[in-house]
Structure 1
């Protein structure tokens, strides 16, 4: 018995066959597609001649000497005109207004020999009006062919993808959103289901046939459109507004990606490849601190600038921004060969380097006395940015001798030698972990601050200052890449404690803060940034899971995708971080930079403690070394003596906030 397919099965089969055929046509090699287009256009030339004759004489005359004469004239004319106008350099599936103008220009060129030969000169048996009629018909046929192919290869395939593919909506119906929508329709891997926009005046309108939806009831829209992903095309909105949008989308378990910056939009380079996952800085809720160019250039332009730790996260960004502000010479000091090679190569290949800025690389350990002396004598820097330090809390906690020697005596040697050769400014990159430190890294950085404060009181002519800030996004050791990798692997995400909080800022912000503060300094200041509210690391992990399109697996939702697990605080880690030792910070020239009022030690007292500390480190007497550290930094208290509960109690009592991250540069 033969089983006949139902009519709807048959129609589905026909549609599937058409879609498959169109996809194969779209995926053909470009030379083969050009050949097919050429053959098609030559056939249209022939058809245009037949149509011109039939319209003129009222009968079809497909094969005759007169038709042959016109065809022999049209085809070479078209080939020459098409090459001249670049007809086959255009991609037919992207055909638009410019393509139609090129075709019109080519048909105009074809009309010149046609009018000359058949209208002015005249050929027996060929009506004179053929010279005008045939190019007009050819233009119409070519335009219809381009529109039909574009519809078949773009719109029909797009409708097919809407029924079966991953469905996305674009948040933002402005210029960036329109460019992204066009790129998605051409890309062919996802289906554009609609636009979302906050402006009620555009709700219900359409962009190239795709409807714009309002955002007042975004959950309903997501459900109706069956969205898998939302793409943010809002490159120019403030970070605070992006946070509001992200918070609005988080409960709906759709993946959220965004366009990077306004630069690519202005250059017209928007493509689907530009999309990236929502960055953590978009979850901070704090707009970036605007740089003051007059302050940025103050200590850099046309000066000899030295950066220690030039290959680190902060050091390398400092080098980039310093180079952009035209120093006379920039000296890169770094003890890691690979890190030094990487930043040196990048700077030398930068277009700014062609402006006559001399770049010098010094592979050296600045904490060694003779090395620091040699480098300072050789280059006589006018401005020094000291970013060299060991900064990863667990590693320094496990290696206290190396951490103290590198951090404390690296700073000490560097500032003493810079002062000796007459450097005008010395800026130390510090950390919020230097405030009431609970780990060796934080205590060592507080001693570094004390060194600079004591030297500033000596009034030697070198202006010493320190810049203190929180965790830096995207730096070495940052928790964000680890969270992303754990999400990609299916989880779980691991963090030390759900109540840990941290202040965050971006690497460019940190580098700009260092440079601006260095230019503002009068001597001995500790500068801190108004970093807004601290971020709870658990909330950060939760947001990253939801924005990836997954759900959190917990007691409330045991069937979720990814779990968040606590592994316990590590030695030396704080539940929260602070930026100030004292109260009532003072304002500065920059509205987002404050000056802390800190307790200091005199140079004679501190110098004696440094001698004692160096002797203990030389003899590997860690007990004596830690005793000296506690005398220099009375607020130092190791967290292995504090339980997590006690730290939470301290947090509530002090009203402060902090994080589960190791300090990253």
Structure 2
């Protein structure tokens, strides 16, 4: 360590000595040149006058150079700010010399000092900026670097270009900007020209032999990103996006750490922001229990809840490996700040659920454990009922007995007008928690949202595997649409719902416009660096239990007023408790075939027990 410090000190001393020596030569050279230029016309300097002026100027220059830290600046990154520091140091050193001349000789040799000032600015500034020029044009302009087009000539794009030109080890060389603002066209920013608009991207890429495109508009909404990406996808250039400005400012990432454009960037809507204060009120310092904590949604809820500093998080899950992973992740992230309790348990085990609630006494429960795969549950209706209905009933009743304050159920858009087993069991689960809200002091609510990008069982992982295998990507139908959201978005909605909960509500996210599955597949293919023709898309037909279009609320459930930006409360009807419990208690006695038939026909049954089921599920 001492040896390393000694080497660093030696390097600094060498650099300081070089700059002090160089400035000394420039100072003396400048004043003597000024003297020799004017001496033939104005015989004003004697040897003693020249000597005293030179010593005064030399001393004052080094004094003000130290004050303005000219010897501590990294001149390879020099800009206007560094030039202003040079100007101040030179100006004050000339002024100090003028004062000394006035005191010593009762005169100021203004013309000589003016020439000296100009030579100082020129030579000292030139010596410093020459290194910047060398790096920008000889090192940064290396032919091995990828020729890069920057989308956005604002502050973000300017920051990216400056970073790329500054760092010799950057992999990209900026060739041109594109920007839709008319007044920026043909202007140069850091020597890089604004060559056209976003619509011109394909032509500019071809003309300038662009290898990479970087989207550098941090404030851009997702619809804007989608519009830009449509143009980028027409080229063979790789498209990337700059990191968030807040991540750069906090030091999490560098400006030059570009990320790939993700499918999430192309959803075309803003994510939901949280009301942090209301969430803190019911989470901070509390005990929180999450079922399905090892799953996609459950694990993300745990991550985001951790930021609000609960006293304890109880992780409940059936899968040993998934619970181990989220347990280790949270322990590493929060390092003793939060008590993390990993629990292996099945929500179908009623006794185990009551025991857990009694032992840990959570104040908030997020119920994310469920079977959610639509075609798979068509073949396993009893398992769907056992997990989604009776599992929810077990956890809910245990929470009510333990005095839990808030209970949030993760539901699905497939609970609306259900045509499949999974959706029907989710709708029954919603009614279970609504009924428990009536019968207990716990506030029970449900959160209903669409498909979650990247979650287990979603189309994205499937499409990625098919693309990696060389295709084709299988899509059920060219007109099939779905609502989509990201895993963090879904988790935020769940957490925010807990803050909004008064009891019995079904919260629904305004998910914008539905997305065609085939368009999602096309975007994922191009994002993976392939063309549609290379991978191919094959239509496989609608699978058992699937709808062509999903709904978040049926026509009787729509509540136009938002209770929070992008969040609605549904007006889903309820039934009498005895009818509900009688229906649920009858489910285990049904054989699998009958159970499936009755659940699937919930939406349009006509008589007898089927009519009771319709009243229960569709009311």
TM-score of the pair, normalised by structure 1? 0.70
Q: 1:607 to 1:191 in 2, by over 3 A?
A: same
Structure 2: 5+ residue stretches without partners: 1-6, 38-56, 105-113, 605-619
Q: Does 1:564 align with 2:546?
A: no
Is the deviation greater in 42-51 or in 180-189?
Answer: 42-51
Q: Distance in 1 between matches of 2:594 and 2:282?
A: 38
Q: Given that residues 163 and 256 in structure 2 are in contact (C-alpha distance below 8 angstroms), is that contact kept between their aligned partners in structure 1?
A: no
Q: 1:403 to 1:109 in 2, by over 3 A?
A: farther
Report the alpha carbon displacement of residue 431 of structure 1 after superposing the two structures with TM.
Answer: 1.3
Q: 1:492 aligns with which of 471, 477, 486?
A: 471
Q: 2:553 aligns with which of 572, 577, 580?
A: 580
Q: 1:90 to 1:384 in 2, by over 3 A?
A: same
Deviations 1:583-641 (A, max 9, x none): 35124523533343446554434434544544x6xxxxxx714523544563379xxxx
Q: Given that residues 416 and 423 in structure 2 are in contact (C-alpha distance below 8 angstroms), is that contact kept between their aligned partners in structure 1?
A: yes
Deviations 1:286-324 (A, max 9, x none): 222344456545644554432222232222332344344
Is the deviation greater in 359-368 or in 590-599?
Answer: 590-599
Q: Does 1:280 align with 2:253?
A: no
Q: Does 1:229 align with 2:203?
A: no
Deviations 1:296-355 (A, max 9, x none): 45644554432222232222332344344454544332334444344445545557985x
Q: Does 1:429 align with 2:390?
A: no
Corresponding position of 2:612: none
Q: 1:176 to 1:580 in 2, by over 3 A?
A: same
Q: Does 1:209 align with 2:191?
A: yes
Q: 1:196 to 1:609 in 2, by over 3 A?
A: same
Structure 1: 5+ residue stretches without partners: 1-28, 60-73, 122-131, 554-560, 617-622, 638-665
Q: 1:593 aligns with which of 545, 564, 567?
A: 567
Secondary structure at the counterpart of residue 416 of structure 1: helix
Q: Does 1:151 align with 2:124?
A: no
Q: Does 1:634 align with 2:608?
A: no
Corresponding position of 1:314: 297
Corresponding position of 1:189: 171
Report the alpha carbon displacement of residue 371 of structure 1 after superposing the two structures with TM.
Answer: 1.4
Deviations 1:3-25 (A, max 9, x none): xxxxxxxxxxxxxxxxxxxxxxx
Q: 1:526 aligns with which of 485, 503, 506?
A: 506
Q: 1:377 aligns with which of 352, 358, 364?
A: 358
Q: Given that residues 314 and 343 in structure 2 are in contact (C-alpha distance below 8 angstroms), is that contact kept between their aligned partners in structure 1?
A: no
Q: Distance in 1 between matches of 2:71 and 2:382?
A: 70
Corresponding position of 1:419: 400
Deviations 1:79-136 (A, max 9, x none): 999999987876553233565678889999999xx99xxxx99xxxxxxxxxx99999
Corresponding position of 1:448: 429
Secondary structure at the counterpart of residue 602 of structure 2: coil
Q: 1:410 to 1:210 in 2, by over 3 A?
A: same
Q: Give the paired residue count.
A: 576
Corresponding position of 2:155: 175
Q: 1:331 aligns with which of 308, 314, 323?
A: 314
Q: Given that residues 160 and 256 in structure 2 are in contact (C-alpha distance below 8 angstroms), is that contact kept between their aligned partners in structure 1?
A: no
Secondary structure at the counterpart of residue 447 of structure 1: helix
Secondary structure at the counterpart of residue 568 of structure 2: strand
Q: Given that residues 255 and 546 in structure 1 are in contact (C-alpha distance below 8 angstroms), is that contact kept between their aligned partners in structure 2?
A: no
Q: Given that residues 495 and 538 in structure 1 are in contact (C-alpha distance below 8 angstroms), is that contact kept between their aligned partners in structure 2?
A: no
Q: Give the alignment's Cα RMSD to 1 decimal.
A: 4.9
Q: Distance in 2 between matches of 1:80 and 1:384?
A: 67
Is the deviation greater in 367-376 or in 236-245?
Answer: 236-245
Q: 1:543 aligns with which of 503, 523, 528?
A: 523
TM-score of the pair, normalised by structure 2? 0.75
Q: Distance in 2 between matches of 1:497 and 1:634?
A: 22
Is the deviation greater in 317-326 or in 227-236?
Answer: 317-326
Q: Given that residues 200 and 214 in structure 1 are in contact (C-alpha distance below 8 angstroms), is that contact kept between their aligned partners in structure 2?
A: no
Is the deviation greater in 81-90 or in 186-195?
Answer: 81-90
Secondary structure at the counterpart of residue 635 of structure 1: helix
Q: Given that residues 168 and 228 in structure 1 are in contact (C-alpha distance below 8 angstroms), is that contact kept between their aligned partners in structure 2?
A: yes
Secondary structure at the counterpart of residue 591 of structure 2: helix
Q: Distance in 2 between matches of 1:404 and 1:584?
A: 24
Q: Distance in 2 between matches of 1:146 and 1:422?
A: 71
Deviations 1:216-269 (A, max 9, x none): 752444444343332211212322333333334443454322123231355587
Report the alpha carbon displacement of residue 408 of structure 1 after superposing the two structures with TM.
Answer: 2.8
Q: Distance in 2 between matches of 1:540 and 1:493?
A: 14
Q: 1:546 to 1:347 in 2, by over 3 A?
A: closer
Report the alpha carbon displacement of residue 205 of structure 1 after superposing the two structures with TM.
Answer: 1.9
Q: Distance in 1 between matches of 2:11 and 2:532?
A: 48
Report the alpha carbon displacement of residue 504 of structure 1 after superposing the two structures with TM.
Answer: 0.4
Q: Given that residues 289 and 364 in structure 2 are in contact (C-alpha distance below 8 angstroms), is that contact kept between their aligned partners in structure 1?
A: yes
Q: 1:268 to 1:525 in 2, by over 3 A?
A: closer
